[in-house]
């Protein structure tokens, strides 16, 4: 058996090259596996094309550096809490069916 036949797939994230974990396997054994990156949360199925699954073929403009992840903005942003008005209280109690509108 040659070395390449015995080789396991790369066990690093295609996007940021950090460690990955197995999320789940197909219900029918050995059909596919879903992997996830523990750093950037990128996830992919083993049956996807190499540009999605192989670090050397992952599109360079989409690659991330793990050390930069903390500098990225949180998307989507968490909305500010709305002040409750009389109409919103009625909506919450189910007395009206139209919800409050953010201002
Ligand atoms: Zn990653």
For residue 7, pLDDT over 60 is answered with no
* Predicted local distance difference test score (pLDDT) of residue 3: 37
Ligand 1 centroid–CA 83 distance in Å is: 38
Question: What is the residue extent of each domain of the chain?
Answer: 3-76
For residue 14, pLDDT over 90 is answered with yes
Ligand 1 centroid–CA 65 distance in Å is: 8
For residue 8, pLDDT over 60 is answered with no
Nearest to 20 by CA among 45, 47, 39, 46: 39
Ligand 1 centroid–CA 77 distance in Å is: 21
Question: pLDDT (tens digit, 9 = 90+) per residue, 16-67?
Answer: 999 999 999 999 998 999 999 999 999 999 999 999 999 999 999 999 999 9
Ligand 1 centroid–CA 12 distance in Å is: 8
Cα–Cα–Cα angle for 40, 77, 70, rounded to 5 degrees: 35
């Amino acid at each position: 058996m040659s070395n390449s036949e015995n080789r396991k797939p790369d066990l690093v994230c295609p996007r940021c090259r950090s460690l990955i974990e197995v999320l789940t396997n197909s219900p029918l054994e050995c059909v596919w596996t879903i992997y996830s990156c523990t750093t950037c949360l990128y996830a992919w199925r083993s049956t996807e094309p190499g540009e999605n699954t192989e670090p050397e073929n992952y599109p360079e403009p989409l690659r991330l550096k793990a050390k930069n992840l903390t500098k990225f903005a949180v998307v989507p942003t968490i909305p500010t809490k709305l002040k409750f008005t009389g109409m919103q209280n009625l909506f919450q109690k189910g007395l009206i069916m139209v919800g409050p509108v953010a201002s």
